[in-house]
Amino acid sequence: MEPTSADPEVVEADVTPPLEAPTGTSPAKVGLSTSSVYPESTASGFEVAAALGWDGVEVMVGIDPIAADIDRVEALRDYHQVPVLSIHAPTLLVTQATWGSDPWEKLERSAEAAVRLGADVVVVHPPFRWQANYARTFVEGIRRLNQETGITFAVENMYPWRTPGTPFQAYVPSWDPTEMGYEHLTLDLSHASTAKQQSLDYLEQWGPRLRHVHITDGAGSLKDEHLLPGEGDQRAFEVLQKLAERAYQGHVVLEVNTRKADSRAEREEILAGCLADLRFHLGQVRDD
């Protein structure tokens, strides 16, 4: 999720979510990304997750100074008794200065943070085009980190950067990890929408390589929208029900834009509704 200085334009999509309960149950942990409370802080993310009953959080490293200070994150985890499920490495455009300039050092520190905090997944974006040396050995380097650290490094699907003219291929080896040799993948529904792809197709193509999900939505905008699940074109609730049918055991993390909320109370109401939807469509709550 690439935070921007302006709120994304919300495009209402004519999508009707399925209302039937899924036929299976996923034991997935349902987590809240600390970016989902932005512009509130990482500390607020833990507080909201504790108040609403989320299974844990994903820490977006670099979204604020707190997230890059693992001592403080550990203290928040212990105080609120909210597990850290995953670490989002500082590989976004806006976090390039977090934890130094060496991208491999960023990933190694992310693994160290995951071990210390009890997380088992590090989410990582593919290299930017201008990171030529990093990109040259990225596939092999991710495989090495998986083997050496015991942490699952799950590479996230991205998208071509689009302007009204020609798309710009900002990520190498590719914004689409499908044909790359990554062992573990993160599916982000908003990124799929921006890339003009369908998340259900990724679900089928990736099979057991899918280890982590950023549940969100998009309406095909040039921007990375991170709409609430069900507000866009990604059939988000069907994705969750497919995960339930497969008894998917990875994490499902809500990564959405709630900057339209006027208050903490309104933000909590939005996030509580999302949590209820996620649990229902993953088969974790029955309506009978």
Domain membership of residue 23 (yes or no) is no
* Mean pLDDT in residue range 89-101: 92
DSSP class per residue in 220-240: S-SS---BPTTSSSS-HHHHH
- Which tens digit of pLDDT belongs to each residue from 11-46? 444 445 445 778 899 999 999 999 999 999 999 999
- Which tens digit of pLDDT belongs to each residue from 43-75? 999 999 999 999 999 999 998 999 999 999 999
- Which tens digit of pLDDT belongs to each residue from 109-135? 999 999 999 999 999 999 999 999 999
Q: Which domain holds residue 138?
A: 29-281
Domain membership of residue 204 (yes or no) is yes
Domain membership of residue 14 (yes or no) is no
Domain membership of residue 7 (yes or no) is no
Domain membership of residue 113 (yes or no) is yes
Longest Cα–Cα distance of the chain, Å, equals: 56
Domain membership of residue 6 (yes or no) is no
Domain membership of residue 265 (yes or no) is yes
Residue 223 is part of a domain; what is its CATH number? 3.20.20.150
Burial 236-257 (b: 16+ CB within 10 A, else e): bbbbbbbbbeeebebbbbbbbb
Domain membership of residue 288 (yes or no) is no
Count of domains for the chain = 1
Task: Identify the pLDDT of residue 162.
Answer: 77
